[in-house]
Chain A
Amino acid sequence: MALTTLWDVAYFLASGLLYVVSRIIPPLSGVLSNGDLVWGLSALVFGAILLAASMINTIMLIWFERKMLGRFMDRRGAMHVGYAGLLQNFADGLKLFRKNTFKPRDADGLGFYAGPTAYMVTSLLMFGVLPVSTGWSDGSLPLSMLLALVIFSFAPLFIFISAWSSNNKYSLIGGMRSAAQMIAYEVPILLAVVAVVVISGSFDLNTIVSEQRNYWYWGPLFLAMIVFATGMLAEMERIPFDLPEAEAELVEGWNTEYGGMLFAYFMLADYVRALAGSILVVLLFLGGWTLPAYFPAALTSLPLAGIVVLMVKTYLVFGVFVWIRAALPRVRTDQLLRIGWMRMIPLSLASIVFAVFFVLVKCIPVLGCVPSMGG
């Protein structure tokens, strides 16, 4: 049995586990060889591996950001816990875990606790949808990109719920801002994605990546990539657009009242979203796990090569986001909305026109031909 996909690995682990258990307790062997049980257990193992991988990556992403910001700021970043501070974030997480989580007296209990939980869960759900390499998951969803974006856009709802239910004026203002901002940037993001769909002819992320084997979409769809990445910055609430949690005026905005593990949920989910957003940029515009043809084929055929390529690209994209964070001040709400509605949307519409044009002419000088010819 070839362990080519993560699902295969999970299935192998699950059936192996059940086999061992049935050898230890022979009377159960009849029950344990049930096909549905094996399938269910392998789904669990699949989820566990995915969860562990995404969480570790998220935490490494935070470390990466802290170190990079440190360099930008002429300091060294986290240094003391673990080698070069690698374990600093685990220590921070542990500290938050040990803290008491309390609810303000007048806060609404259901919303206060359900908000961050749902925010965290929906953010993690992204990784069930995003393919990270060929055969990452068994089979593919025909509309996986649409699903990913839908999951991605759940966030403002939960932010608003938790902001409103924490019964704090700062939180309320922050939640309002967050909702306005995310809704405003949903539109250009989707329009930019339409350009990708037009040129690749598919809503399936696997297909979109494999369509990019000849050339990556950032060339013909440069405008769309800029719009998409900017929109992602706003969706992630990172620094030029971090006004929902602008600490100078709103004291962390919508998560003012949260402490302990609930705050950790928000913080972690923010970075989960940052990771997912960076992966989306890579998948849609930077060729996903493919490499240009002048790289030796042996390099890409190694096991896990696809994942490594994708993660390197993801960290580079995130590095650009960190760079932006280190270099730019925060914009104001009205300016942000004006950029969103009056600059981003025309640009994304223009990029759709470009995409249609490229599909019509079929071949682009220098870059090559559209393999699917517009689906």
Chain B
Amino acid sequence: MSEMWVNMGPQHPMTHGLWNLRVRIDGEMIVEVDPEMGYLHRGIEKISEDRHYNEVITLMDRTCYVAGMAWEHLYVMGAEKALGIVPPERAEWIRMLSEEFQRLASHIMWYAAFVQDLGLMSPFLYGMRDRDLILDLFQSYTGGRLTYEYMRVGGVRNDLPEGFPAQARQVLDWLEPRLVEYDRLCMGSEIFRRRCDGLGVLKANDCVRLGVTGPMLRSAGSKRDIRKDRPYSRYSQVEFDVATADSSDVTGRYLVRMEEMRQSIRILRQALDWLEHHPGPVLADRLPRWLGAPYAPMGREGYLLKRNYPKGVGLSAIEEPHGEACAYVVNEGGEHPYRVKFRSPVFANLSACSHYLVGYHIADIPPIMGSVDVCVGEVDR
């Protein structure tokens, strides 16, 4: 069989979304790859320029549909810096709690999709079952299961409901032994190890050169984690370890994500303890009324108020479940952001795919791309 190009995508079970991986194969070996992205481009950055600051939050949920909270958090942090608003203490803790729950949910979702690519059918459903519990928690305090629209510039929309910490702890108590079970289902399986060990190797210096971040970078031995290096929210006040691995392959990424889930549970327990004993406001007072655009009339009042706020730019960076995400919000005065720019970690991780796919088998594409944890929504934005 001579070399040929195969389109893996845009409608392909491997892609987990809508993108196209063009692969040139020689028999079963990959000779060349060419990722094509943009099938899911919705112009989120451009639309944001035409919306009130708080209305952009709706778009953030749609940016990455499995990590909505993280993207909301990223955006509101950037917008607050641009507008010079400081959220109250309790809101910061709730945001951190939400982001860690989101990380847990996103990693479980990744686990389910990843093992499904390898042909493991049962853990897929175990993962989806356990993720549902976290979505139930989200529902209990945001009302939404996937698109929450919960965070606000200047805080969060509402406080946690009564009895939430106990409920959340119950979920965490259920999840902790489940993580052990996941690990035994995968790392205990000889076939799983053979399918994952030594695949998709991308060394740390290559990661840095290509802008690859997140679990992919940490699996190569680097300890870079924005939560530790440039703590935002209240990450400096909780104890956790940065998960790393040395193998820089698929197994390494798996191990990093598994350890991150354990660390997330650790952070969540501390956050729940704090939240239980520190009641307070969750939304900053003295916010300009046009921030809550759906409720305030546009026009004169907004124009009057905008003079009270200085122009500014806000740059925020968070450790999103997939990697390092950045938001750059430019405030030129007025109720709309002048420009919003996001850095999607998955876009960088995906663009580097020719560096970690070439030379492996065609059957290795699903585990390798699965280990990247592709979320096309945030790739294309």
A residues contacting B by CB (< 8 A) are 69, 72-75, 169-170, 172-173, 176, 239-240, 242-243, 246-249, 251, 325-335
**A–B Cβ pairs within 8 angstroms, 30 of them:** A73-B122, A73-B126, A74-B122, A74-B126, A75-B125, A169-B4, A170-B6, A172-B1, A173-B6, A173-B25, A239-B119, A240-B119, A246-B363, A248-B13, A248-B117, A248-B366, A249-B14, A249-B362, A249-B366, A251-B12, A327-B189, A328-B120, A328-B191, A329-B195, A330-B119, A330-B195, A330-B363, A332-B194, A332-B364, A333-B361
Q: A248-B116, A326-B122, A333-B28 are in contact. Are A173 and B362 (CB under 8 A)?
A: yes
Q: Give the nearest-CB partner of B125 in chain A.
A: A73
Give the size category of B's interface with A: 20 to 34
For the complex of A and B, the 7 pairs showing the least CB-CB separation, nearest first, are A330-B119, A248-B366, A329-B118, A73-B125, A248-B117, A329-B120, A332-B363
Q: Give the nearest-CB partner of B364 in chain A.
A: A332
B129 interface residue per 8 A CB criterion? yes
B192 interface residue per 8 A CB criterion? yes
| One of A72, A251, A333 near B122 (C-beta < 8 A) | A72
B121 interface residue per 8 A CB criterion? yes
* Residues of A with C-beta under 8 A to B126: 73-74
Q: How far is the CB of A192 from chain B (nearest CB, A)?
A: 22
* Residues of B with C-beta under 8 A to A327: 122, 185, 189
Interface residues of B in 183-201 (CB under 8 A from A): 185, 189, 191-192, 194-195
Q: How far is the CB of A325 from chain B (nearest CB, A)?
A: 7
Q: How far is the CB of B182 from chain A (nearest CB, A)?
A: 13
Asked if B362 and A239 make an inter-chain contact with CB atoms under 8 angstroms apart, the answer reads no
* Residues of A with C-beta under 8 A to B194: 331-332, 335
In the bound assembly, the distance between CA atoms of A248 and B21 in angstroms comes to 13
Q: Give the nearest-CB partner of A176 in chain B.
A: B1
Interface residues of B in 78-121 (CB under 8 A from A): 115-121
B59 interface residue per 8 A CB criterion? no
Q: A74-B129, A246-B363, A332-B195 are in contact. Are A326 and B28 (CB under 8 A)?
A: no
Q: How far is the CB of B131 from chain A (nearest CB, A)?
A: 13
In the bound assembly, the distance between CA atoms of A249 and B4 in angstroms comes to 16
| One of A73, A331, A334 near B121 (C-beta < 8 A) | A73
> Given A240-B119, A328-B120, 17 more contacts at CB 8 Å?
A69-B122, A172-B1, A173-B28, A176-B1, A246-B363, A246-B366, A247-B13, A249-B365, A251-B13, A327-B189, A328-B119, A329-B192, A330-B118, A330-B195, A332-B194, A332-B363, A333-B361
Asked if A243 and B189 make an inter-chain contact with CB atoms under 8 angstroms apart, the answer reads no
* Residues of B with C-beta under 8 A to A172: 1
Q: How far is the CB of A216 from chain B (nearest CB, A)?
A: 29
In the bound assembly, the distance between CA atoms of A318 and B297 in angstroms comes to 68
* Residues of B with C-beta under 8 A to A325: 121
Q: How far is the CB of B198 from chain A (nearest CB, A)?
A: 12
Q: Give the nearest-CB partner of A170 in chain B.
A: B6
In the bound assembly, the distance between CA atoms of A354 and B178 in angstroms comes to 44
In the bound assembly, the distance between CA atoms of A176 and B122 in angstroms comes to 28
Asked if A246 and B119 make an inter-chain contact with CB atoms under 8 angstroms apart, the answer reads yes
* Residues of A with C-beta under 8 A to B121: 69, 73, 239, 325-326
Asked if A243 and B192 make an inter-chain contact with CB atoms under 8 angstroms apart, the answer reads no
Q: A69-B121, A72-B122 are in contact. Are A331 and B361 (CB under 8 A)?
A: no
In the bound assembly, the distance between CA atoms of A332 and B368 in angstroms comes to 13
Q: Give the nearest-CB partner of A180 in chain B.
A: B28
* Residues of A with C-beta under 8 A to B25: 173
Q: Give the nearest-CB partner of B365 in chain A.
A: A249
In the bound assembly, the distance between CA atoms of A170 and B117 in angstroms comes to 16
Interface residues of B in 1-54 (CB under 8 A from A): 1, 4, 6, 8, 12-14, 25, 28
In the bound assembly, the distance between CA atoms of A173 and B4 in angstroms comes to 11
* Residues of A with C-beta under 8 A to B185: 327
* Residues of B with C-beta under 8 A to A240: 119, 191
Q: A169-B6, A329-B195, A331-B194 are in contact. Are A248 and B119 (CB under 8 A)?
A: yes
In the bound assembly, the distance between CA atoms of A333 and B28 in angstroms comes to 9
In the bound assembly, the distance between CA atoms of A178 and B192 in angstroms comes to 22
* Residues of B with C-beta under 8 A to A246: 119, 363, 366
Asked if A249 and B363 make an inter-chain contact with CB atoms under 8 angstroms apart, the answer reads yes
Q: Give the nearest-CB partner of B8 in chain A.
A: A249
Per-residue interface assignment for chain B, residues 350 to 369, with 1 indicating a CB less than 8 Å from any chain A CB and 0 otherwise: 00000000000111111000
Asked if B125 and A332 make an inter-chain contact with CB atoms under 8 angstroms apart, the answer reads no
In the bound assembly, the distance between CA atoms of A172 and B1 in angstroms comes to 10
Asked if A329 and B115 make an inter-chain contact with CB atoms under 8 angstroms apart, the answer reads yes
| One of B4, B191, B366 near A331 (C-beta < 8 A) | B191
* Residues of A with C-beta under 8 A to B115: 329
* Residues of A with C-beta under 8 A to B119: 239-240, 242, 246, 248, 328-330
In the bound assembly, the distance between CA atoms of A176 and B362 in angstroms comes to 13
Q: Give the nearest-CB partner of B192 in chain A.
A: A329
In the bound assembly, the distance between CA atoms of A69 and B191 in angstroms comes to 20
Q: Give the nearest-CB partner of A332 in chain B.
A: B363
Q: A329-B118, A333-B361 are in contact. Are A248 and B14 (CB under 8 A)?
A: yes
Interface residues of B in 289-342 (CB under 8 A from A): none
In the bound assembly, the distance between CA atoms of A170 and B192 in angstroms comes to 24
| One of A75, A242, A330, A332 near B361 (C-beta < 8 A) | A332
Q: How far is the CB of A222 from chain B (nearest CB, A)?
A: 20
In the bound assembly, the distance between CA atoms of A176 and B25 in angstroms comes to 14
Greatest chain A CB density within 10 A among B121, B129, B364 is at B121
Asked if B363 and A333 make an inter-chain contact with CB atoms under 8 angstroms apart, the answer reads yes
In the bound assembly, the distance between CA atoms of A330 and B129 in angstroms comes to 23
Q: How far is the CB of B113 from chain A (nearest CB, A)?
A: 10
* Residues of A with C-beta under 8 A to B116: 248
* Residues of B with C-beta under 8 A to A242: 119
Q: How far is the CB of B19 from chain A (nearest CB, A)?
A: 15
In the bound assembly, the distance between CA atoms of A169 and B192 in angstroms comes to 27
In the bound assembly, the distance between CA atoms of A150 and B139 in angstroms comes to 59
In the bound assembly, the distance between CA atoms of A170 and B7 in angstroms comes to 10
In the bound assembly, the distance between CA atoms of A330 and B365 in angstroms comes to 13
Q: How far is the CB of A295 from chain B (nearest CB, A)?
A: 35
In the bound assembly, the distance between CA atoms of A135 and B34 in angstroms comes to 62
Q: Give the nearest-CB partner of A243 in chain B.
A: B363
Asked if A328 and B189 make an inter-chain contact with CB atoms under 8 angstroms apart, the answer reads yes
Q: How far is the CB of B9 from chain A (nearest CB, A)?
A: 10
